[in-house]
Amino acid sequence: MENIYELAIIGAGPAGIATAIESYALGMRGIVLLEKDENHNATIRKFYKDNKRVDVDWKGQKVELDGSIYFVDGTKESTLDFFDQLLDNEAMTLRTHCEVQKIQKDKDGFEISVAGGTIKARHVVVTIGRMGKPNKPEYKIPPSIKSQVHFTLDACSFGEKIMVIGGGDSAIEYAVELCGKNEVSICYRRNSFERANPTNQNDIAKAIENGCVNALLNTEIMELESEGGCVKVVFKDGSSALFDRLVYAIGGTTPSGFLRSSGIREADGKPVHDENYETNIEGLFVAGDITQESGGSIALGLNHGFAIANYIISNRV
């Protein structure tokens, strides 16, 4: 007979792993985690800089942890180790290189389409986050400068003139990381960094005061051009400046195509769900960053996973 999982989770980030671990802890068996990348937590691996400080209270939001997962402040590396250990200790299946294309309800539950086949499950939780497609600016990025425009720090090296665009925690952390070794500007359309958490506000204030980072506040970009091997940034006030690289840290987008193809209703840039994170399709849930218009936090994703596990287990027939 065809294998039907009790629970399939799409995306092995913090919210997906928490849903799996908490469901297992509450006695559920037959859990599969489907991850498109080569390992769990692709967002943390790709977008966090090495040795990044990881705050439980991200974006200055205090979140009390509800479930059994004891997550504490640490670094990128300690956080990944922590999730490794959680997955090592429990008997659940993590299938990597497994990108889910769509989910369809059928008589036994759900049919999940992946490259080269389908997987069946009675309940499905979608935790694919928003960083699959990082936000891009509205103006055009000319093809000739594409190799100098980035969304992570991977390509940045030493002694370059770099501008970070954004004013949240990620943008500040990128600017502060780059500034010891490069000439760094940060361009933000608002007039202060008040959306960031207190530590990052303090770090950027110090970097600006010490002359390590040049802050371009209340500043918007109109267009980008290529000039003499550099990126020419033309600002809305008519001024312009040349940079070796630009790094955008302006969040991620709702995976609307995925939601639509799976029949999940969307409103105001988020999938519609009830207080138990169940979507318009019974048995199909959403959790983590995908439920937050401007992104959430690790702790928030862990709490969503715990809430969903409790709900599914107490309502199982």
Ligand X SMILES: Cc1cc2nc3c(=O)[nH]c(=O)nc-3n(C[C@H](O)[C@H](O)[C@H](O)COP(=O)(O)OP(=O)(O)OC[C@H]3O[C@@H](n4cnc5c(N)ncnc54)[C@H](O)[C@@H]3O)c2cc1C
Q: State the residues that interact with ligand X by CB under 6 A.
A: 10-16, 34-37, 41-44, 47-48, 54-55, 58, 99-100, 127-129, 131-132, 170, 288-289, 295-299, 301
> What is the nearest approach in angstroms of ligand X to the Cβ of residue 54?
4
Residue 234 token pair: 């033309």
Q: State which residue, 229 or 257, has the beta carbon closest to ligand X.
A: 257
> What is the nearest approach in angstroms of ligand X to the Cβ of residue 242?
26
Q: State which residue, 95 or 232, has the beta carbon closest to ligand X.
A: 95
Q: State which residue, 37 or 203, has the beta carbon closest to ligand X.
A: 37
> What is the nearest approach in angstroms of ligand X to the Cβ of residue 98?
6
Q: State which residue, 99 or 223, has the beta carbon closest to ligand X.
A: 99
Distance, CA of 230 to CA of 161 (rounded, Å): 9
Distance, CA of 7 to CA of 312 (rounded, Å): 9
In sequence order, the 6+-apart residues with CB closer than 8 A to the CB of 267 are none
> What is the nearest approach in angstroms of ligand X to the Cβ of residue 312?
17
Q: State which residue, 223 or 266, has the beta carbon closest to ligand X.
A: 266
243 forms bridges with which residues in the sheet? 231
> What is the nearest approach in angstroms of ligand X to the Cβ of residue 283?
18
Altogether, the residues listed in the chain come to a count of 317
Q: What is the separation of C-alpha 205 from the centre of its chain, rounded to a whole number of angstroms? A: 26
Q: Which helix (H) or strand (E) holds 266?
A: strand 266-267
Residue 126 token pair: 């979608």
CB pairs under 8 A, 24+ apart, for 236-244? 241/163, 241/185, 242/161, 243/148, 243/161, 243/162, 243/163, 243/185, 244/148, 244/160, 244/161, 244/162
> What is the nearest approach in angstroms of ligand X to the Cβ of residue 315?
23
Q: State which residue, 58 or 285, has the beta carbon closest to ligand X.
A: 58
